[in-house]
Structure 1
Amino acid sequence: MIDIDPSGILVRYNVKMEKEMTPEEAAEELYPKDSIIYPIAKAIFEGEEDDVVEGLEKAISSGKDPISLIDDALMVGMGVVTKLYDEGIIFLPNVMMSADAMLEGIEYVKQKAGRAPVVKGKVVCHVAEGDVHDIGKNIVAALLRANGYDVVDLGRDVPVDEVIAAVEKENPLMLTGTALMTTTMYAFKEVNDKLLEKGYKIPFACGGGAVNQDFVSQYELGVYGEEAADAPKIADFIREHGGNIVKLREKFHKH
């Protein structure tokens, strides 16, 4: 019997797995290097509200303008969160914790400054009439607020006429609707038709478990948001490029 050393065999087939990066390591590469901003961005990523406030406190006492820290620190931290969420490295519960920490930070700097930051724009959010499942809408509202939008949250199971009245009163740049049940999503078509009747050509971003792109594409104002995180992106796009539904669909619909 020939004595063979097995350790020398099959080496070339032994695919060496590259070590996966942890979310923390991935975030570390994206944080700003600035020693004042870094701890705030990191605290946002970690969802640590107390650490966010502590970081902001230090930044303000070092001479930073409180309101400027929204864009220069809080948004930067949220940008890290959004990027890693888009890449599938972190998941929705992490995003929600970060959004809460961000909102806490915004409240703190507003108190310190004695004035409110400039709001990017107003968005009306609601859950379709007959539908009581509001977790999706709550996430949409939190992410919009964390990205600097003023949210008018109508709640769940909102009658169509109430949605129309809110659009007339608030004149938002966008309306969002979520539906988890297929029986309730037809309210969106009604909202769409009544808005058009009254001459409103406002983008109507719809999503939720029951809703798909084909359904949303059937009515004139509908823009499909596959995930809650699409809501602030759609709002940002409207601010930069206007509320043209065709352009919005080109950008956000899968072709």
Structure 2
Amino acid sequence: MVSSAIELSAKRRQLAPATAKVDFSLIFRKYGAPRKEALPYDYILPAEPELVRVARAVINGNPLEAEDAVKIALGKFDPLTVISEGLTKGMNVVSRMWDDGVYFLPEVVNSADAMQAGVKICEEKMGRAAERKGRIIAHVAEGDIHDIGKNIVVALLRANGFEVIDLGRDVPVRTVVETAKRERPIAIMGTALMTTTMTAFPRLAGELKREGLEILLACGGGAVNQEFVETFEGSAFGDKAADAVKIAELALQGLSWREIRGRVHK
């Protein structure tokens, strides 16, 4: 078992030939979770070998590999192309693997780190920061210390080009409101695992309204359901972590919370 893990680690450190295909079987699996066979995702990958190498580094969750692959790709493509056609395509595969139950939190976080490492190299080449789609505030509800869901949401949002202000866990309602007043995000993402803490969300929505802040509050987590979220205005419910990206894209388009509910609620 240990030797297999060592061999896997060694393989991930190697920069595979540009013509090689991604081996989706070389992944970690959540202990005790139902095992699913890796599904084919090659159709998502770019056609150019240099960009495939970049995407593979993101899928493998290897920041050093991503940096090396990006430097090679920049010899042929401009930084924005490397970001959109290499790094982002790799993260699109990771998102699909998450949805399909193939990847779990460690893999998603590692892949997000690899993508950010690659983006940094591209930004240095451009001499400026890459343009972000929009600003999002993420937090775990006041009194709640369970942040796994929030961490996944943050990783997926950043990987999809959003700037995320991560306030962490057990965040007081007032802290979220003051941050929103200062940062003016397009949306606020909140998670709660306990029924005793999800009550912070209607209080937060009320505070935002009193402050005159028309900012969508997207709620999710183990304790939260659509029926609860629909009891207070200014909010939308995300059933899965990947829904955060969809909701953020809709908020970026300028849709109201009612319109977003109409798109994402069942």
TM, length-normalised to structure 1: 0.84
Q: Which piece of structure 1 moves more, 175-184 or 34-43? A: 34-43
Q: Which amino acid aligns with 1:45?
A: I
Q: Hey, what's the Cα distance between the residues in 2 that align with 1:246 and 1:225?
A: 14
User: Please, what TM-score do these two structures have when normalized by structure 2?
Assistant: 0.81
Q: Distance in 1 between matches of 2:242 and 2:113?
A: 14
> Which of these residues, 89, 98, 114, is aligned with residue 85 of structure 1?
98
**1:32–1:38 CA contact under 8 A, matched in 2:** yes
User: Are 2:193 and 2:224, in contact at CA under 8 Å, matched by a contact in 1?
Assistant: yes
2:204 is aligned to 191
Aligned length: 232
Do the aligned partners of 2:139 and 2:191 also contact (CA within 8 Å) in 1?
yes
Q: Distance in 2 between matches of 1:220 and 1:204?
A: 9
1:99-121 per-residue CA deviation (whole Å, 9 max, x = no partner) reads 22112211222233321011111
Match of 1:212 in 2: 225
Quick check: 1:128–1:177 contact (8 Å CA) kept in 2? yes
- 2:95–2:156 CA contact under 8 A, matched in 1: no
Query: What secondary structure is seen at the aligned counterpart in 1 of 2:138?
Result: strand
Matched, 1:108 2:108: no
- The 10-residue stretch of structure 1 (184-193 or 150-159) with the greater mean CA deviation from structure 2: 150-159
Q: Which residue of 2 aligns with 1:165?
A: 178
Alignment map for 1:232-247 (pairs within 5 Å): 232-240=245-253, 242-247=254-259
Aligned residue runs from structure 1 range 1-255, under 5 A: 22-23=37-38, 26-62=40-76, 64-240=77-253, 242-254=254-266
Deviation at 1:227, TM superposition (A): 1.6
Q: Is 2:44–2:92's contact at 8 Å kept on the other side of the alignment?
A: no
* Shift in alpha-carbon separation, 1:91–1:157, aligned structure 2, 3 A: closer
CA apart distance, 1:88: 4.1
Larger radius of gyration: 1
| TM-superposed deviation, 1:22 | 4.5
Q: Structure 2: how far apart are the matches of 1:72 and 1:144?
A: 17
Question: What's the offset of the Cα at 1:172?
Answer: 0.4
CA displacement 1:189-223 (0-9 Å, x = unmatched):
10001111122221111111111111111110111
Tell me what 2:18 maps to.
none
**Distance in 2 of aligned mates of 1:133 and 1:112:** 38
When the two chains are superposed, the root-mean-square deviation of aligned CA atoms in Å is: 2.0
What is the alpha-carbon distance in structure 2 between the residues aligned to residue 232 and residue 177 of structure 1?
A: 13
For 2:241, what is the secondary structure of its paired residue? coil
Unaligned stretches of 5+ in structure 1?
A: 1-20
Residue identity opposite 1:150 in structure 2:
E
Percentage of pairs with the same residue:
44
Deviation at 1:139, TM superposition (A): 1.8
Separation (CA, whole Å) in 2 of partners of 1:30 and 1:148: 18
Instruction: Report the CA distance between 1:45 and its aligned residue.
Output: 1.7
Report how far residue 92 of structure 1 moved.
4.1
Q: Distance in 2 between matches of 1:34 and 1:80?
A: 16
